[in-house]
A and B are shown apart, each in its own frame.
Chain A
Amino acid sequence: MSVDIIDAIVDQLGTLAKRQAKPFNVCLHGGEPLLIGAPRLERLLRGLRLGMPTSCSLAIQTNGLLLSDSIIDLLATYGVGVSISYDGPADVHDANRLDKRGAGSRARVLNAMRRLQAHPTASGLFSGVLAVVDPNSSPIAVYEDLASTGAPGIDFLYRDGNRTRLPPGKARAASTEYGQWMLRLLRAYIADPNPPRIRVLDDLMRLILGSDGRKEGLGLTDFGIIVIDTDGTITRNDTLKVAYHGADKFDKPPSILDRALDQFLVSSDMSDYRALQRPTSPICLSCPELNICGGGMPAHRWSEDSGYNNPTVFCADQQLLIAELRSLLSAAKAA
Chain B
Amino acid sequence: MQSDRIDERGRDSQSEPVTPDELTVAVDSVALRRLIEEVENKGDTTLAGYNRSYHRHNR
Where the two chains meet, the residues of B that have a C-beta atom closer than 8 Å to any C-beta of A are 1, 5-6, 9-10, 12-14, 18, 20, 22-24, 26-36, 38-39, 42, 45-58
The interface residues of chain A lying within 8 Å CB-to-CB of B28 are 332, 335
Question: Quick one: given A197-B45, A202-B35, A206-B39, are A130 and B20 in contact (CB under 8 Å)?
Answer: no
CB nearest to A158 among chain B residues? B53
A residues 91-126 in Cβ contact with B at 8 Å: 96-97
Tell which of A85, A183, A191, A206 touches B35, judged by Cβ atoms closer than 8 Å.
A206
- Would you give the shortest CB distance from B19 to chain A, in whole angstroms? 8
Q: Once bound together, how far apart are the Cα atoms of A197 and B11, in whole Å?
A: 24
Closest A residue to B55 by CB, please name it.
A132
Are B54 and A183 in contact, CB atoms less than 8 angstroms apart?
Answer: no
**Across the interface, do B20 and A320 meet the contact criterion of CB distance under 8 Å?**
yes
Q: Which residues of A contact B (CB under 8 A)?
A: 25, 27, 29, 57, 59, 61, 81, 83, 85, 96-97, 127-128, 130, 132, 134, 138-141, 143-144, 147-148, 152-153, 155, 157-161, 168, 180, 183-184, 186-195, 197-199, 201-202, 205-206, 209-211, 214-216, 225, 227, 237-239, 241-242, 297, 320, 323-324, 327-329, 331-335
Q: Do B48 and A144 touch across chains, with their CB atoms under 8 A apart? A: no
Query: Which residues does chain A contribute within 8 Å of B33, judged by CB atoms?
Result: 332
- B24 contacts which of A134, A141, A328 (Cβ < 8 Å)? A328
A152 touching B46, Cβ below 8 Å = yes
Instruction: Give chain A residues whose Cβ lies under 8 Å from the Cβ of B29.
Output: 190-191, 328, 332
A-B contact count (CB 8 A): 167
Kindly identify which residue among A127, A183, A239, A332 contacts B36, using a CB–CB cutoff of 8 Å: A332
A329 adjacent to B32 (CB under 8 Å): yes
Q: From B49, which residue of chain A is reached at the shortest CB distance?
A: A59
| Partner pick for A59 among B9, B10, B24, B48, CB 8 A cutoff | B48
A157 touches B9 (CB 8 A): no
B45 touches A202 (CB 8 A): yes
Q: Are B24 and A25 in contact (CB under 8 A)?
A: no
Alpha-carbon distance A81/B47, docked complex (angstroms): 9
Q: A155-B51, A186-B23, A187-B22 are in contact. Are A140 and B13 (CB under 8 A)?
A: yes
Also in contact, A199 and B47, with CB within 8 A (given A160-B58, A187-B18): yes
A324 partner residues in chain B, CB cutoff 8 A: 20, 23-24
**Contact status A328-B23, CB under 8 Å:** yes
In the bound complex, residues from chain B placing their C-beta under 8 Å from that of A168 are 57-58
Q: How far is the CA of A238 from the CA of B51 in the complex (A)?
A: 11
Whether A139 contacts B13 by the Cβ 8 Å rule is yes
Interface contact A211-B39, CB-CB below 8 Å? yes
Interface centre among A157, A239, A332 (most CB of B within 10 A): A332
Q: Are B55 and A127 in contact (CB under 8 A)?
A: no
Structural contact, B36 and A209, CB atoms closer than 8 A = yes
Among B26, B38, B45, B55, the one with the most A-chain Cβ atoms within 10 Å of its Cβ is B55
